[in-house]
Structure 1
């Protein structure tokens, strides 16, 4: 299984790199967004900037990396299904879990690469060396991405055609992003919207990433970790029931 997983993962990586738009969307877009927003806030007094630009810009960039991975996964799975590639892979000796796991590993790998690029590009915005627990933050981002990818498999399973896969995934994940607490604090939302925000996984993802970035421990965000883990378990179970190979 491991040998087949390695070969398929390497093959999927090469296929992904051959598509410039996919690479730009997954790696380039979050970095470009970060650079543009950082330049907007450059030169202005930190106290005069909105929290998104003064404090949460690295969190927004990290979340955009995870969101891009989800949208990319949905698009690829939908294209593979419509093109009959999933059906042909299913007919090989490879186990179904190996085929799907290869896609997850590729997305997590490019998530790590995107985070490394963000740190290099935005080193000045990340504060003095050693002030940010980079390893712990990277682990939190990979964990968050993994949990959100489970939603991607559900979306990819129910979308009718590859043509609508990416727009639908974009609509869903960006709607969740609006309830994440990045743009408006969850506590400042109307009561009904606060309930929605706390049910959606993106608010827990932002809370975890923000806390780890500030140096807080994982135990301090046990509720966020539990919520994201529950999402992963439930979404994976649903995906196993509704996922279509053709």
Structure 2
């Protein structure tokens, strides 16, 4: 008598194991580990001293309202748009995703594990910046902490959704890094990374406020100052999540 054995999908334990493997891969990638953690921190250090002595509003300084939101957004964007897509492009090129497709393990588990590791890396980067700002420069916490946490979560989802488009179209890890860098600098330039959106022509500044980088910076700035977050920022982040997820889903190939 033939016995039919049904293959079972791996459970939570397998996902945790895969997350551990992904974390080791990230830690072995020196540039991918150091750049998103240290570059934003270095940028903060160059301006934190003077910004911490410049009062803005509601007991907050320029360090709180302008510098830290920018640093947080940079950490999230570098990891979501540059780092994560390069790993997924490597897995596709090396055939890992294709081989997983014929096993009980779904390739989607790799995506989930990489997303979890990316979020943890972003949390390490933002926490490091926050600790340095608190201890060395007397920074203040956000006036609306719950709102700030919600904006960070939205920003992560938006940046990772945009990064999935990069992963979908990049044929190799190097091309993923190149495309991600271009996207990062375009979004950053329009979002005020090089001197604030006020220095841009009005049409570009308006567009930058709707794109994920500028929307995240402005929304975090508002939360830090205790002001209401502009609806345009939330709509921009939400639209990025939906549109980028749909586009990435249509374009993404496992091999």
Give the TM-score normalised by structure 1.
0.83
Q: Residues 35 and 198 (structure 1 numbering): CA distance in 2 closer, same or farther, change over 3 Å?
A: closer
- My pick for the range that moved more, 78-87 or 51-60, is 51-60
In 2, the alpha carbon distance for the partners of 1:110 and 1:54 equals 22
Conservation of the 8 A alpha-carbon contact between 2:93 and 2:172: yes
Q: Name structure 2 gaps, 5 residues minimum.
A: 1-10, 56-60
- My pick for the range that moved more, 177-186 or 14-23, is 177-186
- My pick for the range that moved more, 66-75 or 24-33, is 24-33
In 1, the alpha carbon distance for the partners of 2:138 and 2:79 equals 23
Q: Which residue of 2 aligns with 1:35?
A: 45
Match of 2:237 among 205, 219, 228: 228
In 2, the alpha carbon distance for the partners of 1:199 and 1:221 equals 10
Q: Which has the larger radius of gyration?
A: 2
In 2, the alpha carbon distance for the partners of 1:100 and 1:131 equals 32
Q: Residues 164 and 52 (structure 1 numbering): CA distance in 2 closer, same or farther, change over 3 Å?
A: farther
Q: Which residue of 1 aligns with 2:248?
A: 239
Match of 2:54 among 46, 50, 57: 46
Cα drift, residue 108 of structure 1: 0.8
In 2, the alpha carbon distance for the partners of 1:144 and 1:79 equals 25
Q: Residues 132 and 182 (structure 1 numbering): CA distance in 2 closer, same or farther, change over 3 Å?
A: farther
In 2, the alpha carbon distance for the partners of 1:135 and 1:28 equals 26
In 1, the alpha carbon distance for the partners of 2:72 and 2:157 equals 13
Conservation of the 8 A alpha-carbon contact between 2:78 and 2:184: no
Q: Does 1:201 align with 2:236?
A: no
Aligned length: 238
Conservation of the 8 A alpha-carbon contact between 1:82 and 1:161: yes
In 1, the alpha carbon distance for the partners of 2:205 and 2:126 equals 29
Conservation of the 8 A alpha-carbon contact between 1:201 and 1:228: yes
In 2, the alpha carbon distance for the partners of 1:103 and 1:140 equals 21
Q: In the TM superposition, what whole-angstrom CA distance separates every residue of 1:15-46 from its partner, at most 9, and x where no partner exists?
A: 2112222210222222222223325x379x73
Cα drift, residue 111 of structure 1: 1.0
In 1, the alpha carbon distance for the partners of 2:202 and 2:42 equals 35
Q: Which residue of 2 aligns with 1:18?
A: 28
**Aligned with 2:188: secondary structure?**
helix
Give the TM-score normalised by structure 2.
0.81
Q: Residues 195 and 230 (structure 1 numbering): CA distance in 2 closer, same or farther, change over 3 Å?
A: same
Q: Which residue of 2 aligns with 1:174?
A: 185
Cα drift, residue 7 of structure 1: 2.1
In 2, the alpha carbon distance for the partners of 1:131 and 1:230 equals 25
Match of 2:90 among 79, 83, 98: 79
Q: Does 1:107 align with 2:115?
A: no
Cα drift, residue 176 of structure 1: 0.9
**Aligned with 1:66: secondary structure?**
helix
Q: Does 1:6 align with 2:3?
A: no
Conservation of the 8 A alpha-carbon contact between 2:54 and 2:62: no
In 2, the alpha carbon distance for the partners of 1:191 and 1:225 equals 20
**Aligned with 1:56: secondary structure?**
helix
